[in-house]
Chains A and B, each alone.
Chain A
Amino acid sequence: MRDCDPFDTREEVSNPLLTDKLTIVLGERDGIAGPAIAACVRAAQGTVAFASTECFV
């Protein structure tokens, strides 16, 4: 329960990389996929300018 965790300092981050920039997401199928990263960026109030999931076989 995040709201009950007194050690959770996520609200105090002072370097808002995600909110100040346009984000280019380069996911990979064998790592973390583009849509998953893009969802995280949007949840952090960021803007996704481009997202892809690359596949190296």
Chain B
Amino acid sequence: MDLQSQEAIKRLVEEHGRERILVLLGSPDPEAAEIAAETVILGDPTYAGPLTETQLGLEVYHVLEDDIRTQIPAEVFEEQIGVMADVLDAPGLAEAVAGMRAKAP
């Protein structure tokens, strides 16, 4: 995750509190989704950014997970995400992010 995003996440959590924040991912594969989820839950695994050793424990989902997808109007989801929902490995993405949620402190 790039350093600017990590900095923004850290600032928003400090301003609003972790309970008010939801993170949505658009990662292309399960490995990338897992790393992004790990960064906002347990801290930056690359030890390169502001979230290094910062366990925010944020609530995080991939946008293709049913818990999120079902809350988006169908016509908007189709228009904005459309074919990517069929191209990407939605079950694998969901499993990767859910597995990391289970490790939240």
Contact = CB atoms under 8 A, between A and B. Distances in A.
A13 B70 contact: yes
Nearest to A16: B71
Contacts of A25: 24, 26
Interface residues of B, number: 40
Given A10-B74, A54-B1, A15 B26 contact: no
Nearest to A43: B76
B12 A26 contact: no
Contacts, number: 121
Interface residues of A, number: 36
A21 B59 contact: yes
Contacts of B5: 26, 50, 52, 54
Interface in A10-44: 10, 13, 15-19, 21-28, 30-34, 36-37, 39-41, 43-44
B73 interface: yes
B56 to A, nearest CB: 11
A15 to B, nearest CB: 7
Interface of B: 1-2, 4-5, 8-9, 12, 16, 20-29, 32, 36, 40, 58-59, 61, 63-64, 67-68, 70-77, 80-81, 84, 88
